[in-house]
Amino acid sequence: MIPAAFEYYRPQDIAGVLAVLEEHGDDARVMAGGHSLIPMMKLRMADVPHLIDLQDVGGMSDIEVGADSIRIGAMVTQADIIDHTGLADAAPILREAALQIADPQVRYMSTVGGNVANGDPGNDMPGLMQCVDAAFTVVGPDGERDIAAREFYEAAYMTARDDEEVLTAVTIPMPKGGYAYEKQKRKIGDYATAAAAVQIVKNGGNCASASIAMTNLSDTPIYSGDAGNALVGTSVDAAALDAAVAAMLGDIDPSEDNRGPVAFKKHVAGIILHRAIERAWSRA
């Protein structure tokens, strides 16, 4: 299908974006890479009379690796993440996740901002950003504010970003310890049946801290503090692994769809999380 008629805007700066949003209100939508919004427009699942393309907005395609944190512009693509040597050295979990998103054609256009901003529970980056304790910078008519990734997602396609605000950047504390992003999907290009992002810091032979989040197993990505706490103070032995998996299975709420029934999804979630924890621990 083809989308309904719409007006197309390509501002040169964020002020121009906000001006169009203010003028047209709920009739205007912002587009980054377009891999979520354009298909919805073609299927007439989204009515967007005024479409604002962010491709020409300056300052949103930069990656800055600092001493204590990393700042990623909203228009940075998955391919940019994969190819950036400094970022791969500082936060290899980002590259590991980006390499598992769709296929090369999609990764050259799909942006970090678009992946995290629209609240699609199947996207990879939202759960990953909760795992690494990222913050999202949004800009609106009242200025700029930061929203923690762990507080950003409210329901499927519903977030803490106001309609007149634009997500401009993601900031991540410098990751520490071992990491893993594990994903199971039916075929290349499909959303995950289940995916897990894990970071573990080791002190001696025990786990000092652990951060765990999973994707596409509820209406929002799920960050489970209980799952991480189940590993802390342990040698990440079999009992600790089982406790962490059990905690996460208690937090997720999958629904039946063409990827399988609820029982199957929980089974896959447990296997994927078990693998991710073991791999992160081996790297810690």
Q: Are 176 and 91 in contact (CB under 8 A)?
A: no
pLDDT in tens, 75-106: 999 999 999 999 999 999 999 999 999 999 99
What lies within 8 Å, CB to CB, of 47 at 6+ separation is 4, 41
pTM given for the model: 0.94
**Is the C-alpha dihedral spanning 112, 115, 118, 123 positive or negative?**
negative
Q: Secondary structure of the chain: what % helix, strand, coil (to 5)?
A: 35, 30, 35
Q: Return mean pLDDT, the chain.
A: 95
145 shares its domain with 75: yes
Q: DSSP letters along 53-67, please? A: E-TT-TTSS-EEE-S
Q: Name the amino acid, one letter, at 261.
A: P
168 shares its domain with 183: no
Given 156, 173, 190, which residue is the final one in a domain? 173
Residue 99 lies in a domain: yes
Tell me, what CATH number does 42's domain have?
3.30.43.10
Which run of H or E residues covers position 210? strand 206-215
d(CA 196, CA 210): 13
194 shares its domain with 236: yes
Given 134, 157, 173, which residue is the final one in a domain? 173
pLDDT in tens, 104-141: 999 999 999 999 998 999 999 999 999 999 999 999 99
Which range marks the domain in which residue 251 is found?
A: 178-283
How many domains does the chain contain in total? Answer: 3
Counting Cβ atoms within 10 Å, is residue 163 exposed (0-12), middle (13-18) or buried (19+)? exposed
Q: Are 38 and 161 in contact (CB under 8 A)?
A: no
pLDDT in tens, 176-224: 999 999 999 998 888 999 999 999 999 999 999 999 999 999 999 999 9
